[in-house]
Chain A
Amino acid sequence: MKFDDQKIRNIGISAHIDSGKTTLSERILFYTKRIHAIHDVKGKDGVGATMDSMALEKERGITIASAATYCEWKGYEINVIDTPGHVDFTIEVERSMRVLDGAILVLCSVGGVQSQSITVDQQMKRYKVPSIAFINKCDRTGANPFRVIEQLRAKLGHNAVAMQIPIGLETNLQGVVDLVAMKAVYFDGDSGENVRTEEIPAELLADAQAKREKLIDAASLFSDELTEAILEEKEIDPEMLYAAIRKGTLKREITPVFMGSAYKNKGVQPMLDGVTCLLPAPSDVENIALDMDRDEQPVVLSTDPSKPIVSLAFKLEDGQYGQLTYIRVYEGTIAKGSTIVNVRNGRKVKVGRVVRMHADQMEDVEELKAGYIGALFGIECASGDTFVSPGVNMTMTSMYVPAPVISLAIVPKDNKAQMAMAKALNRFTKEDPTFKTHVDPETNETIIEGMGELHLDIYVERMKREYSAEVTTGNPRVAYRETITQRADFNYTHRKQTGGAGQYGRIAGYIEPVTDAEFVFENQIFGGAIPTQYIPACEKGFKESMAKGPKLEFPITGVKVVIDDGAAHAVDSSDMAFQAAARGAFREAYLRAKPVVHEPIMKVVVETPTEFQGSVMGLINQRRGIIIGTQDEGLQCVVEAQVPLAEMFGYSTVLRSATQGKAQFTMEFAMYRQVPQSVAEKIALEASQKKTSVA
């Protein structure tokens, strides 16, 4: 039994900051009756009260707070998925792109396509997300939607075609002409909620006809039926036209363009019609899972609710109702009482409450079928985890695993503990890819690594409780890294003449910093100064050098190596000789490239009663933290900061005593950042002490 998902839309709204994404989202929720009023406020002077009642400033507090908000439009079920506003958060962006099937690209009618619209658009391209465009702010002076359409074509390479033309522009914006129905559309009532259709004003008719021609022309490429109708000069049926445009949209070969003003309540409803008529239903897009039993081979999912479950937890939220896990179901049906398995660790869980989030409330539902988005309660997992029916072994994401930021030496009490510990570690590393373990070759100690102090504490505790492995722990160590800050050249000859065969290799080139990669190797040798067969050996030699800095012995990242000259010897050169030459060359250049130490920085969010705000900020400040901001919420307040992990040890105890236990905090890895000079000196000292104690 095939279930019909044609009336489901999972969409994102993507926009350059300030183009009106928030305003548009609010209007969507209003027209779909999820928000019940756009506040009614009279202007002080009594003039133009209607217009003022719409002022966005009056509506604050009713924003889309959740990762996915559900609403209904003319029988369609729409999930609006919150896409991160900025391109920095790559993992988050990736996840939100995975769960949406289509998008609205919002542009400002004056500003047009800006540099950030370009970045946002590239993401959509990468994830092949079909989209429609909405040109907002047509009420602004200087509004020119057709220039923006030109920019969409020229700057973004979209085959953008107008679905509408505006009736009036700037302060005179009255409505839009629908080029499919060939009707004028106006928006009456205090909040534009009453859509009125009329004949097209005479003075716009010629333009409307010309633009309609263009639209039909563009659409005809996707429909033989339409082409035929054009040739036979038949009346063009709106259904047929929509179907053709939709086909092009789904292939990303057409971008239908709507226009209006969210702020002035014009044009939002026709755009919603566009979402339902033109953007894909879940089964219209291809979703791919990776089969873990067959070497992560891609498998196309079917959106069939009767199949076993495949679903993705894309966002976790600690809300007033406890931990919520937002989930998208790709295959099968998740219902109350279903058993699902977390593919990452093999843990089975029984589904308790299943809900759907609305703008300001949530609704219990019985089940989520394939194609649906909703949220589950009481599921322990990480964002990005795949949940499946028992027996299925597929994952939605080839798992991104961040490198550990902290390590700890553990020593078993006795032989028995040693065995138990080994067993426990084996199990844990399987369950949790962010938890790692190895034996330090110098000290022979077992080292465990993870994403934070608490993370490691939990595993040490579990070792004791579940495996009776008594261990003592050393001091936690921060995973520092080294990187270089400037370019440095090298020209190094490795030569050894001992008895029989000698060793010879010379490498020249330079190293320089790169920001978005750990290691880049580039061969710019032309003319065979180093024979090509030795190039891989050179690369290997450089890469090996990255494992440990020569002085502080932290792993090195962010280096680009370029070789552009060298020399070989017919008899004495070998892979080994060139590897050695590369290591020598790296050593030679590294210190001159001004290496620095980077440390993990955590994003720390503290929620505290306002009375303790001062001391909370003081505590962060003492810990080399940068406070990004504070959010005053009346009795409570939220402090957001970036603090070096090295300074966070013991923070929970200190925070508790400073706030009578009334504050809570969360912490997650944010980025690596260069340590200040004074701290770098301290780290260097510790490193040299460690070296001498080992030696």
Chain B
Amino acid sequence: MATGVAFWRERNVIHLVCEEINMIKNEIIARNPLINLGYGNEYILNDGGLGAVLAHAGVGKTALLVQVALHAMTHEQPVLHVSLNDAVSKVDIWYRELFHDIAGKYDSADMRGFWERTLVYRFIMTFKVEGFSAPRLEERLTDLMQQNIFKPHTVIIDGLRFDESGRGLLMELKEMAARYAMRIWFTVHTHRHEPPQKDGIPLSFRHVADLFDVLVELKAHGPQIDIKPIKGQSADAKKDAIQLDPTTMLIKG
């Protein structure tokens, strides 16, 4: 009954886990348009630096900054995500969806484990727009830092209104970034009716533009989104716009 010849090959046990995770980390970098615009520094901004993504409503500012956050988190750099628009659960979905978009093709058990280990490098805070101020944020931050709960490397502030909040708030935030050796990224909602300026900086943002080290603009172009550096690019970097996937703001993979 038995086949007679014992048919048996010793199979190699495969250790894919580490390799796959490195592949994901690399993919997060390779598909991140900001990193590929040629901004010298690995994290684009230095300690104390401010950066901003400018775009019209609905053009994926949040997605782009979540990518910046994912890059930092997967390199074990803590990210504080401050949202003035969305609830904690919605912000969380942004991260999961984007991670899923990048990691979906890998083994799901490994990815889940990796994701859970990465999650400790993220902290979401939501404020009502009226309730947000630099002292308030600092108070929360010191709560976290004094107890060694969380010390951000990168801060993302999504939903601040630049045409309404004056220069004062930005100066305070910039000082804070320097004090705690963090970098802060902002989303800036620009308006379609504003006439385009030669240097790419919209009028409603001009009063604070000098406080920023890096400015990029997202622009819809047909079915494509282009990302265009406005400020802070190193001299030898390529000047062309990069085309993005319109929903994820990833470089088309």
Q: Is B109's CB under 8 angstroms from A515's CB?
A: yes
Given known A617-B143, A673-B116, contact A632–B126 (CB-CB < 8 A)? yes
Distance (Å) between the CB of A681 and the closest chain B CB?
A: 19
Given known A110-B246, A568-B1, A673-B116, contact A630–B193 (CB-CB < 8 A)? no
Interface residues on B, range: 35 or more
- CA separation between A528 and B1, bound complex, in Å? 7
- CA separation between A584 and B164, bound complex, in Å? 71
- CA separation between A293 and B146, bound complex, in Å? 61
- Residues of chain B contacted by A486 (CB below 8 angstroms): 13-15, 17
CB-nearest residue of chain A relative to B161?
A57
Type the 1/0 row for A609-644, where 1 means its CB is closer than 8 Å to any CB of B: 000011001100100001111111110001010000
Distance (Å) between the CB of B123 and the closest chain A CB?
A: 6
* Selected contact of A51 from candidates B112, B119, B192, CB within 8 Å: B192
- Residues of chain A contacted by B81 (CB below 8 angstroms): 629
CB-nearest residue of chain A relative to B193?
A48
- Residues of chain B contacted by A527 (CB below 8 angstroms): 3
* Selected contact of A110 from candidates B63, B85, B193, B223, CB within 8 Å: B223
Given known A108-B247, A137-B58, A568-B1, contact A513–B109 (CB-CB < 8 A)? yes
Q: Is B220's CB under 8 angstroms from A488's CB?
A: no
Q: Is B126's CB under 8 angstroms from A629's CB?
A: yes
B104 at the binding interface (Cβ < 8 Å): yes
* Selected contact of B63 from candidates A18, A621, A674, CB within 8 Å: A18
Given known A142-B222, A617-B147, contact A529–B7 (CB-CB < 8 A)? yes
Q: Is A640's CB under 8 angstroms from B88's CB?
A: yes
Q: Is B126's CB under 8 angstroms from A140's CB?
A: no
Q: Which of A52, A61, A140, A485 has the most CB of B within 10 A?
A: A140
- CA separation between A670 and B116, bound complex, in Å? 13
Q: Is A142's CB under 8 angstroms from B220's CB?
A: yes
- Residues of chain A contacted by B159 (CB below 8 angstroms): 57
Distance (Å) between the CB of B76 and the closest chain A CB?
A: 14
Query: Residues of A within 8 Å of B, CB-based: how many?
Result: 75
- Residues of chain A contacted by B6 (CB below 8 angstroms): 565, 567
Q: Is B149's CB under 8 angstroms from A621's CB?
A: yes
* Selected contact of A487 from candidates B3, B14, B204, CB within 8 Å: B14
- Residues of chain A contacted by B100 (CB below 8 angstroms): 115-116
Q: Is A114's CB under 8 angstroms from B247's CB?
A: yes
- Residues of chain B contacted by A617 (CB below 8 angstroms): 143-144, 147, 149
- Residues of chain B contacted by A565 (CB below 8 angstroms): 6-8
Distance (Å) between the CB of B218 and the closest chain A CB?
A: 11
* Selected contact of B131 from candidates A20, A55, A110, A634, CB within 8 Å: A634
Given known A488-B13, A628-B88, contact A45–B124 (CB-CB < 8 A)? no
- Residues of chain A contacted by B22 (CB below 8 angstroms): none
Distance (Å) between the CB of B18 and the closest chain A CB?
A: 12
Given known A47-B193, A489-B13, contact A568–B109 (CB-CB < 8 A)? no
- CA separation between A565 and B2, bound complex, in Å? 10
CB-nearest residue of chain A relative to B10?
A489
Interface residue ranges of A111-159 to B (CB < 8 Å) = 111-112, 114-116, 137, 140-142, 144, 147
B11 at the binding interface (Cβ < 8 Å): yes
- Residues of chain B contacted by A2 (CB below 8 angstroms): none
CB-nearest residue of chain B relative to A117?
B247
Distance (Å) between the CB of B93 and the closest chain A CB?
A: 5
B234 at the binding interface (Cβ < 8 Å): no
- Residues of chain A contacted by B7 (CB below 8 angstroms): 529, 565
- CA separation between A108 and B112, bound complex, in Å? 28
Q: Is B149's CB under 8 angstroms from A631's CB?
A: no
- CA separation between A579 and B181, bound complex, in Å? 62
Q: Is A141's CB under 8 angstroms from B58's CB?
A: no
B60 at the binding interface (Cβ < 8 Å): yes
Type the 1/0 row for B2-41, where 1 means its CB is closer than 8 Å to any CB of A: 1100111011011101000000000000000000000000
Given known A171-B192, A515-B108, contact A627–B2 (CB-CB < 8 A)? no
- Residues of chain B contacted by A51 (CB below 8 angstroms): 191-193
Q: Is B60's CB under 8 angstroms from A18's CB?
A: yes
CB-nearest residue of chain B relative to A264?
B57
Type the 1/0 row for B48-72, where 1 means its CB is closer than 8 Å to any CB of A: 0000000011111011000000000
- CA separation between A558 and B60, bound complex, in Å? 37
- Residues of chain A contacted by B15 (CB below 8 angstroms): 486
B203 at the binding interface (Cβ < 8 Å): yes
Pair count A-B, CB < 8 A: 186
B91 at the binding interface (Cβ < 8 Å): yes
Given known A18-B60, A18-B247, A141-B222, contact A629–B125 (CB-CB < 8 A)? yes
Q: Is A634's CB under 8 angstroms from B163's CB?
A: no
Distance (Å) between the CB of A605 and the closest chain B CB?
A: 10
Distance (Å) between the CB of A326 and the closest chain B CB?
A: 18
- Residues of chain A contacted by B220 (CB below 8 angstroms): 110, 140-142
Interface residue ranges of A502-540 to B (CB < 8 Å) = 508, 510, 513-516, 527-529, 531
- Residues of chain B contacted by A626 (CB below 8 angstroms): 119-120
- CA separation between A618 and B145, bound complex, in Å? 10
Q: Is A140's CB under 8 angstroms from B2's CB?
A: no
Q: Is B92's CB under 8 angstroms from A628's CB?
A: yes
A44 at the binding interface (Cβ < 8 Å): yes
A17 at the binding interface (Cβ < 8 Å): yes
B189 at the binding interface (Cβ < 8 Å): yes
- Residues of chain B contacted by A20 (CB below 8 angstroms): 58
A56 at the binding interface (Cβ < 8 Å): yes
B87 at the binding interface (Cβ < 8 Å): yes
- CA separation between A531 and B193, bound complex, in Å? 77
B140 at the binding interface (Cβ < 8 Å): yes
Q: Is A515's CB under 8 angstroms from B112's CB?
A: yes
Q: Is B203's CB under 8 angstroms from A45's CB?
A: yes
Given known A60-B129, A510-B11, contact A263–B247 (CB-CB < 8 A)? no
- CA separation between A618 and B101, bound complex, in Å? 34
- Residues of chain A contacted by B10 (CB below 8 angstroms): 489
- Residues of chain B contacted by A489 (CB below 8 angstroms): 10-11, 13
Q: Is A631's CB under 8 angstroms from B126's CB?
A: yes
- CA separation between A40 and B77, bound complex, in Å? 41
- CA separation between A14 and B192, bound complex, in Å? 28
Interface residue ranges of A552-587 to B (CB < 8 Å) = 558, 565, 567-570
Q: Is B246's CB under 8 angstroms from A142's CB?
A: yes
Q: Is A60's CB under 8 angstroms from B85's CB?
A: yes
Distance (Å) between the CB of B19 and the closest chain A CB?
A: 13
- Residues of chain A contacted by B116 (CB below 8 angstroms): 673-674
A491 at the binding interface (Cβ < 8 Å): yes
Q: Is A674's CB under 8 angstroms from B140's CB?
A: no
* Selected contact of A514 from candidates B8, B109, B124, B224, CB within 8 Å: B109
- Residues of chain B contacted by A631 (CB below 8 angstroms): 87-88, 125-126
Distance (Å) between the CB of A418 and the closest chain B CB?
A: 44
* Selected contact of A613 from candidates B120, B140, B203, CB within 8 Å: B140
* Selected contact of A632 from candidates B13, B93, B127, B163, CB within 8 Å: B127
Type the 1/0 row for B87-106, where 1 means its CB is closer than 8 Å to any CB of A: 11111111011001100100
- Residues of chain A contacted by B189 (CB below 8 angstroms): 55, 57
Interface residue ranges of B184-218 to A (CB < 8 Å) = 189, 191-194, 203-204
B179 at the binding interface (Cβ < 8 Å): no
Q: Is A17's CB under 8 angstroms from B223's CB?
A: no
- Interchain Cβ contacts under 8 Å between A and B, 18 examples: A17-B94, A47-B194, A48-B192, A51-B191, A52-B191, A85-B89, A85-B90, A108-B246, A142-B221, A528-B1, A531-B1, A558-B109, A565-B7, A565-B8, A567-B6, A626-B119, A630-B88, A631-B126
The 6 closest A-B pairs by CB, nearest first: A629-B124, A141-B220, A48-B193, A629-B88, A111-B247, A614-B143
Apart from A263-B57, A570-B1, what are 7 other A-B pairs with CB-CB below 8 Å? Answer: A45-B204, A86-B97, A116-B100, A142-B223, A142-B225, A529-B7, A618-B147
